[in-house]
Amino acid sequence: MKRYVIRFTLKQRIEHASAMTLFIVLALTGLPQKFFEASWAHAVIMALGGIEQVRWVHRAAGIAFTLFTAAHLGIISSLVVTGRAALSLVPTRQDFLDAIQQLRYYLGMTDRPARFDKFDYKQKFEYWGLVLGAVIVISTGFVLLFPVLATTYLPGEVVPASKLAHGNEGLMAFLVVIVWHIYNAHLNPDVFPFDSTIFTGRISVERLRHEHELEYERLKATEEPEG
């Protein structure tokens, strides 16, 4: 019988589900606007009720994403400052060493893979990529939403620059999620065809030991895994 441990709390699972839902809505309503000349974009826009409806939904989802991001960063900062959370997602020198070690392992230069704690260097890259990307799309999105106000304090060139940055960052985020995140989280051979951990919060002891050996050793030293 497999044994499991809790890897993600209910709060973290809700945050992931919220971010995933908002991302899908923003991509579905944003990319057709960026590629409006393409036939597929026109079909999507018409299927969603027309361009005005698409713009309204995109803006509403953008505001919701802004509030979500602010709440997430605010809560995390508060937990870290008060000592109730560790800086487990902050990249360290060890992450660069782990990346080199893992690359050497993949190339057959060593038979010892890197040993990871709660989050490996790839997961940290994804997280901070999301945070930095969110800062870009949120700031440029507000410039596009309030161009007159923005140009009251900033040069007029900020509007077309924001339009370019907003669309390109949205496209890059979409490609990163499709190519990088979906593969690593669900399609790589270790978890194929689907990894339910972020939805159930549970991970098997065997997988934890294989993928996050340092975290496994720490948990084993403090408590017995739940059955």
CATH number at residue 147: 1.20.950.20
Domain count for the chain: 1
Cβ pair 80, 178 in contact under 8 A:
no
**161 in a structural domain:** yes
CA atoms within 13 A on the CB side of 47: 9
Model pTM score: 0.86
Binned at pLDDT 50, 70 and 90, residue 223 comes out as low
CA torsion sign for 88, 189, 183, 99 is: positive
- Please state the rounded mean pLDDT for residues 179-196: 82
**96 in a structural domain:** yes
**227 in a structural domain:** no
202 φ, ψ to 5°?
Answer: -105, 150
- Please state the rounded mean pLDDT for residues 79-101: 90
Binned at pLDDT 50, 70 and 90, residue 222 comes out as confident
From residue 32, how far is each of 19, 37, 99, 118, 161 by CA, in Å?
A: 20, 9, 36, 37, 19
pLDDT on residue 194: 81
**36 in a structural domain:** yes
Cβ pair 7, 201 in contact under 8 A:
yes
From residue 68, how far is each of 22, 73, 85 by CA, in Å?
A: 9, 9, 19
- Please state the rounded mean pLDDT for residues 48-62: 96
**202 in a structural domain:** yes
Domain housing 47 = 4-222
pLDDT(226) > 60: no
Burial class (CB in 10 A: 0-12, 13-18, 19+), 166: buried
Spatial separation of the C-alpha atoms in residues 113 and 101, rounded to whole Å: 6
- Please state the rounded mean pLDDT for residues 192-199: 85
**79 in a structural domain:** yes
**135 in a structural domain:** yes
pLDDT on residue 227: 47
Percent of the chain residues topping a pLDDT of 90:
71
Nearest to 58, CA basis, from 182, 170, 181, 179: 170
Hey, is 4 helix, strand or coil? strand
- Please state the rounded mean pLDDT for residues 89-109: 94
Task: State pLDDT tens for residues 20-37.
Answer: 999 999 999 999 999 999
**77 in a structural domain:** yes
